[in-house]
Amino acid sequence: MSENPTPEIIEPTASAPRVRAGKISSRRIEHYVAPLEETPLQSVDKVDETATPLSMWAQAWRSLRTQPLFIISAALILLVIAVAAFPGLFTSTSPTSCSLEFARQGPSAGHPLGFTFQGCDIYARIMYGAQASVLVGLFTTIAVVVFGGILGALAGYYGGWLDAILARLADIFFALPLILGAIIIMQLPAFRENRSIWTVIITLAIFGWPQMARITRGAVIEAKSSDYVMASRSLGLSKFKTLVKHVVPNSLAPVIVVSTISLGIYIVAEATLSFLGLGLPPSIMSWGNDIASAQISVRNNPEILMWPALALSITVLSFIMLGDAVRDALDPKSRKG
Amino acid sequence: MILFTFKRFLQLIPVFFGATLLVYFLVFATPGDPIAALSGGKPMSPAVESALRAQYNLDQPFWVQYFLYLKNLVTFDLGQTFSGQPVADVIARAMPVTARLAVMALAIEAFFGIIFGVIAGLKKGKLFDSTVLVASLIVIAVPTFVLGFVLQFIVGVKLDWAKPTVGSTAPWGDLILPATVLGLVSLAYVLRLTRTSIIENKQADYVRTATAKGLSRRRVVMVHILRNSLIPVVTFLGADLGTLMGGAIVTEGIFNVPGIGNLVYQAVLKGETPTVVAVVSVLVVVFVIANLVVDLLYAWLDPRIRLV
Amino acid sequence: MRYNRTSKALVLSAALALTLTACGGGGAEEADETTGGDPSKVITANSTEPQNGLLPANTNEVGGGRVMDLLFTGLVSYDIDGKPVNELAESIETTDAKTYTIKIKTGQKFTNGEAVTAKSFVDAWNFGAAAKNAQLNSYFFESIKGYDTVSAEGATEETMEGLKVVDDTTFTVELKRAESDFPLRLGYTAFYPLPAAAFEDPKAFGEKPAGNGPYKLAEDGWKHNVQIDLVPNADYSGPRTAANGGVSFKIYSTFDAAYQDLLANNLDVLDQIPPSALQNYQDDLGDRWVNQAYAGNATMTIASYLPEFKGEAGELRRQAISMSINRQEIIDNIFFGGKQIAKDFTSPVLDGYSDALPGNEVLTFNAEKAKELWAEADKIDPWPADKTFTMTSNIDGAGNKEYIEAMANQISNTLGIKAELNPIPTFKEMRELVVSKKLTGASRAGWQADYPSLYNFLGPLYGTGAGSNDGDYSSKEFDQKLAEGLAATSVEEGNKIFNEAQQILLKDLPVIPLWYQAVQGGWSDQVTDVKFGWNGVPVYNAIVGK
């Protein structure tokens, strides 16, 4: 809420169409009217003509960089990315030298988090597993947002046959079992011999885009009927430019929410695929894989599951916080100062 | 609106054929030989093998197989499973169970997701908001097969509040726990979507108008803010219904629910084309209808949106 | 019966999947209080959906097999130790192990009222073997003279000339060649008799079979994918009479779910403890569990057509790999006791088993020796740098991932080469790799006995061109021994020769034996007298309610 104490003029808007005769408040509201000479007009409403005009994004960035939420989440994400890029800097233990001798043992010197069911060092595996997990989560999310977002925005904005085709296509994709698709994709000549995280990313993206398309489409349909869209169109901005400049930025909130959660969901989904033999080869470590493998230890050694799940949680948390901060910054109504 | 609905149903026809063709092809293209798997790795005499291949048209090229399938489809014959059961019967048994499970999960995620989301949104940054954030993190980071397993053990075995698995007739009561587990991940989405939407809308002009008019806070929240915040939530829920129906594989496994998630999973593994095609076709219809409902809801939630 | 079937573990996410039939060692004290039981209690037990209609010659997996074994009875059945006991057979006689004269008991009936006669057997066997009926178990009749004619593609002949009805209670079987263990096989599902109704409409019969066993299908008893209800058959009078009011098989898609039901007394008998509970099931269940060896084993096949495992270097490599696997460590840490390390290619519950075959030290962990052998092999034909030794396994019916990963770690720690699991998503893909000879590295295998005989663990698996010889092993010397063993006049004599044949296998190592399977099962506090048979299946008819 704006902290501006000055009462503002409220214009009737189309978004509150049905004005009902509500209860008449019994409270007496004191109306404060500031003497005109006390409050110079410029301090409230007047456009600062000396400042260089800023785009919406620049304004968002300006408000973002001072927000503690943003600073914390960005720092956390940088840390996660650093671990993913250079795991060797964070541990000197080999994550692949495993021996049943140490299976399920607790923490000991040099092994701060203990050992897995197979007797691998949990800490080292978390450090080395970050890479695949973060890449899968990040790139799948990017692919889904770009692909699903664009299709969804076009479908929602233009409607008609384009919407019909894209929506029905999404319906078919939604109904396809993930496992069937995954088996097929693994079979493609390009992936058959050298499976990598890209195989997983492509698989998850193919099955993830319809959801994002739906969400974007819904948000765009809502936004396109707003006054500012009509205003922008009547000012002569082309249909497409209106979409890009006004509709899309105002439809971002649900997209950000869904993509930040999905980031974590994709990391876990990689585990499910790997467990079904459709994901990463065992030689590529990932948090998801370790979480899935820890399932059989849940009753007796829950900590084996807890550590990689914690790493995953922190990553997801930082992206959710970042998403929140970005959304706040993009929303002029909630921007402070 | 009637025309709009009618047009949607017309779209079902090409979608249905497109889906059957695509799925038929995909199952056809999966590696492995279903007949070799039937033998369980034991020897099979060549005569038996070729007889079985002929029985399921597996000795035919793809287009012939698909054409034969379509031909039967016209007479409402969905084909047979490898165990000789009519696919139609198998689906008729499994579908109601899964439908109940999905509807219940949807109700749970919608109800709690929206309530918690509204509270979290109104009290942004407060203790409640942070608590539900941490709770959603757990749901996201701990996979369903672990969460379901743990809840099943605690509720079904340790506390003995419910049976750990679903009984043979899958009564509603038995489905509460599985539906909760199934709806948990989506609940996190619904919650955060609602929260964000509430935060956006609580500063909207009409809210001030309503408040200024002297409407009670309750009424402002329930009628004005919530209604205007629901579009992303409704979009998500609409898309989620189908996911819950088709993607309940893990939950159905944990709680031994005899539904279609398990059915289609097994069918994919076995290469049992008619079952996979039939299930996917049914799901496509569910999706198209769910989508139609969502679009109709848009217009109801926001009268400015016109159905075209 | 192969145990690596999809059907046995219809598993969902691999995480849920568990087909370990874990093993060995001692068992819980079996409760022996037969007194005061409730004979009307209906026992609930876990199972999987039968893959096919319930016809004897078409049932080749455990889900259907355990139902068939209660609905039908054959000439013999196996007691708890795997010894054949006469059921319908009055006598099975032979002088040359080639022609058998079988006399059956009189007065037996199928549940549809038809009498069980010699013809019921002969017709059922002919039905099972004939090509036009496409029965999965047809190869079980291949020893009988005339099988080749009736089983050929497009065959019109439907009766095997080796089977002859003498009178209502007598028939003769003539085999292609002498096979002394033929009578041992006669308790297997494929050899059950069928009433005439079965041949008129096999499909309908398979849905509602009329058998002659200790139980019959209840009215509307088979609720597909959910439950199969059996009630006692009052007309049955054999050694396996029902001591309870019926058996209801609940269909489970995961053993985890079944185990939770067991803990909540929602299931009476569970024949497989899931991996997630192996560490704690004995504490959970008090004295209501069993851990006993059954006739099955686990192995790793190394296909003979792989270039890096050919010749002398290949032989050394196979031995090195075998000796670099610390089987006991895996049994202790992955299976939590249970299984027993393998000392041969068969199973310790069989007659004639020996744990002291010369040459079996190759199955004992010995890191030093393994390194030596590997280095020696490298001298002859160097192992390509960067080559990964893969162990292939389908993981849809899983529970195998954990031990294979552990083995990969042991092999790479000992031999200093890269080793890893090569997961195959589906069983059908795995079978195709086997059939089209595209296996690489080692691949998971194992055998679960169809009938209790050493030959069943050797002939079908390692005989040249045999049906389950996945690795294409071929040794003239070994084939010769097998033939000699079969022709032996007594089972004991035969076993001696089969063990000599095993010594050839120990040298060639067509597969690397890992351990013997054991059944780890449990039961609820509602039932007592739960015992598990030689094949790891609970003896359902003997279970009584408390």
Which positions 206-265 of C are in contact with B (Cβ < 8 Å)? 206, 223-227, 250-254, 256-258, 260-261, 263-264
Nearest to C226 among B143, B168, B269 (CB): B168
Torsions phi, psi for C297 (to 5 deg)? -145, 170
pLDDT band at A47 (very low <50, low <70, confident <90, very high): low
For C443, the 3-state DSSP assignment is: strand
3-state secondary structure C257-324: HHHHHHHCCCCCEECCCCHHHCCCHHHHHCCCEEEEEEEEEEEEEECCCCHHHCHHHHHHHHHHHHHC
Arithmetic mean of pLDDT, B132-154:
87
Distances in Å between the alpha carbon of C316 and those of A170, C301, C363, C417, C439?
56, 15, 13, 15, 20
What residues contact residue C505 under an 8 Å CB cut-off, 6+ apart? C345, C458, C462, C478
Block residue for tokens 């679960």? C448
Neighbours of C490 (CB within 10 A): 10
Residues of A with CB under 8 A from a CB of C: 97-101, 103-104, 117-119, 179, 182-183, 186, 272, 275-278, 281-283, 292-293, 295-300
Higher pLDDT, B129 or C17: B129
Torsions phi, psi for C28 (to 5 deg)? -70, 155
pLDDT band at A304 (very low <50, low <70, confident <90, very high): very high
Check residue A172 and give its pLDDT: 86
pLDDT at residue C482 greater than cutoff 90: yes
Greatest distance between any 2 Cα atoms in chain A: 83
**Is-contact A294 A304, C-beta < 8 A?**
yes
Q: Which of C127, C249, C146 is nearest to C199 (CA)?
A: C127
pLDDT at residue C5 greater than cutoff 50: no
Nearest to B214 among A22, A171, A254 (CB): A22
| pLDDT per residue as tens digits for the range C248-283 | 999 998 899 999 999 999 999 999 999 889 999 999
pLDDT at residue B221 greater than cutoff 60: yes
Is A258 in contact with B193 (Cβ distance < 8 A)? yes
Is C276 in contact with A298 (Cβ distance < 8 A)? yes
How close B193 comes to chain C (CA, Å)?
Answer: 29
Among B32-36, B243-247, C191-195, C527-531, the range scoring the smallest mean pLDDT is B243-247
pLDDT band at A17 (very low <50, low <70, confident <90, very high): very low
% of chain A at pLDDT higher than 90:
27
Q: Which of C2, C491, C521, C535 is nearest to C268 (CA)?
A: C521
DSSP letter (8 states) at residue A179? H
Instruction: State how far the Cα of A270 lies from the Cα of A286, in Å rounded to an integer.
Output: 9
What residues contact residue C320 under an 8 Å CB cut-off, 6+ apart? C369, C370, C371, C373, C374, C377, C415
Q: Annotate C73-128 with DSSP letters as a single string.
A: --SEEE-TTS-EEESSEEEEEESSSSEEEEEE-SS-B-TTS-B--HHHHHHHHHHH
Q: Which of C102, C66, C64, C131 is nearest to C193 (CA)?
A: C102
Beta pairing, strands C544-545 & C89-94: unpaired
Long-range interactions of C228-235: CB distance < 8 A, separation 24+: C228/C47, C228/C50, C228/C67, C230/C67, C230/C70, C230/C71, C233/C111, C235/C109, C235/C111
How close A249 comes to chain B (CA, Å)?
Answer: 13
Is C275 in contact with A296 (Cβ distance < 8 A)? yes
| pLDDT per residue as tens digits for the range A235-294 | 888 888 888 888 888 888 889 989 988 998 898 888 778 777 788 887 889 998 888 888
Neighbours of C262 (CB within 10 A): 29
Arithmetic mean of pLDDT, B266-291:
87
Among A176-180, B98-102, B183-187, the range scoring the smallest mean pLDDT is A176-180
Check residue C26 and give its pLDDT: 34
DSSP letter (8 states) at residue C419? E
Per-residue burial over C292-303, b if 16 or more Cβ lie within 10 Å, else e, is bbbbbbbbbbbb
Instruction: State how far the Cα of A279 lies from the Cα of C45, in Å rounded to an integer.
Output: 35
Helix (H) or strand (E) holding C414: helix C401-415
Higher pLDDT, B41 or A25: B41
Distances in Å between the alpha carbon of C487 and those of A62, C367, C463, C490?
92, 41, 15, 9
Instruction: State how far the Cα of B57 lies from the Cα of C299, in Å rounded to an integer.
Output: 36
Neighbours of C505 (CB within 10 A): 22
Arithmetic mean of pLDDT, C284-290:
93
What is the overall mean pLDDT for chain C? 88
Is A15 in contact with B140 (Cβ distance < 8 A)? no
What is the overall mean pLDDT for chain B? 86
Which residues in C129-214 belong to E strands, given as ranges? 163-167, 170-174
Check residue A269 and give its pLDDT: 86
Structure tokens given for B241: 């219904």
| pLDDT per residue as tens digits for the range C40-56 | 899 999 999 998 889 99
Torsions phi, psi for C117 (to 5 deg)? -125, 180
Check residue C61 and give its pLDDT: 85
Instruction: State how far the Cα of C253 lies from the Cα of C14, in Å rounded to an integer.
Output: 12
Check residue C21 and give its pLDDT: 29
Check residue C16 and give its pLDDT: 29
Arithmetic mean of pLDDT, C221-231:
92
**Is-contact C212 C9, C-beta < 8 A?**
no
Check residue C238 and give its pLDDT: 87
Torsion of CA C210, C212, C215, C221, to 10 degrees: -10
Check residue C20 and give its pLDDT: 28
pLDDT at residue C181 greater than cutoff 80: yes
Is B83 in contact with C49 (Cβ distance < 8 A)? yes
pLDDT band at A29 (very low <50, low <70, confident <90, very high): low
Residue type, C530: V
Question: CB-based contact (8 Å) between C136 and chain B?
Answer: yes
Query: How many CB pairs below 8 A link B and C?
Result: 192
Is B304 in contact with A15 (Cβ distance < 8 A)? yes
Please say whether the dihedral angle defined by the alpha carbons of residues C163, C165, C169 and C172, taken in this order, is positive or negative: negative
| Assembly ipTM | 0.87
**Is-contact C180 C92, C-beta < 8 A?**
no
Structure tokens given for C17: 């999947």
Instruction: State how far the Cα of C233 lies from the Cα of C240, in Å rounded to an integer.
Output: 11
| pLDDT per residue as tens digits for the range C246-257 | 999 999 988 999
Higher pLDDT, B49 or B112: B112
In chain C, residues with a C-beta closer than 8 Å to the C-beta of B263 are 225
**Is-contact B133 C230, C-beta < 8 A?**
no
Instruction: State how far the Cα of B137 lies from the Cα of A315, in Å rounded to an integer.
Output: 10
Question: CB-based contact (8 Å) between C367 and chain A?
Answer: no
Check residue C196 and give its pLDDT: 94
pLDDT at residue A20 greater than cutoff 60: no
**Chains within contact range of chain C (3+ C-beta pairs < 8 Å):** A, B
Check residue C31 and give its pLDDT: 39
Instruction: Compute CA A103 distance to the chain's CA centroid, rounded to the nearest angstrom.
Output: 36
**Is-contact B117 B128, C-beta < 8 A?**
no
| pLDDT per residue as tens digits for the range A201-212 | 998 999 889 989
Arithmetic mean of pLDDT, C107-127:
94
**Is-contact A292 A306, C-beta < 8 A?**
no
Nearest to C16 among B55, B83, B250 (CB): B250
Higher pLDDT, B135 or C33: B135
Is B168 in contact with C256 (Cβ distance < 8 A)? no
Higher pLDDT, C463 or B145: C463
pLDDT at residue C29 greater than cutoff 80: no
Block residue for tokens 């089977």? C163
pLDDT at residue A336 greater than cutoff 70: no
Burial class (CB in 10 A: 0-12, 13-18, 19+), A253: buried
Q: Based on C-alpha coordinates, what's the Rg of chain A?
A: 26
Report the topology of domain A130-334.
MetI-like fold (1.10.3720)
Check residue A237 and give its pLDDT: 84
Higher pLDDT, A9 or C75: C75
Arithmetic mean of pLDDT, B32-50:
81
What residues contact residue C439 under an 8 Å CB cut-off, 6+ apart? C301, C303, C306, C392, C433, C470, C471
Is B22 in contact with A178 (Cβ distance < 8 A)? no
| pLDDT per residue as tens digits for the range C63-78 | 899 999 999 999 999 9
- The gap between the terminal CA atoms of chain C, to the nearest Å, is 34
pLDDT at residue C4 greater than cutoff 50: no
Helix (H) or strand (E) holding A268: helix A248-275
Question: Which residues, listed in sequence order, are joined to residue C297 by a DSSP beta bridge?
Answer: C447, C516
Check residue B74 and give its pLDDT: 82
Instruction: State how far the Cα of A23 lies from the Cα of A38, in Å rounded to an integer.
Output: 35
pLDDT band at C416 (very low <50, low <70, confident <90, very high): very high
Question: CB-based contact (8 Å) between C387 and chain B?
Answer: no
Block residue for tokens 């279970």? C543
pLDDT at residue A39 greater than cutoff 60: no
Question: Which residues, listed in sequence order, are joined to residue C291 by a DSSP beta bridge?
Answer: C520
Arithmetic mean of pLDDT, C424-450:
87
Q: Which of B132, B125, B102, B137 is nearest to B237 (CA)?
A: B102
Is A100 in contact with C326 (Cβ distance < 8 A)? yes
Check residue A11 and give its pLDDT: 45
What residues contact residue B249 under an 8 Å CB cut-off, 6+ apart? A177, A179, B261, B262, B264, B265, C12, C13
pLDDT at residue C96 greater than cutoff 80: yes
pLDDT at residue C14 greater than cutoff 50: no
What is the overall mean pLDDT for chain A? 81
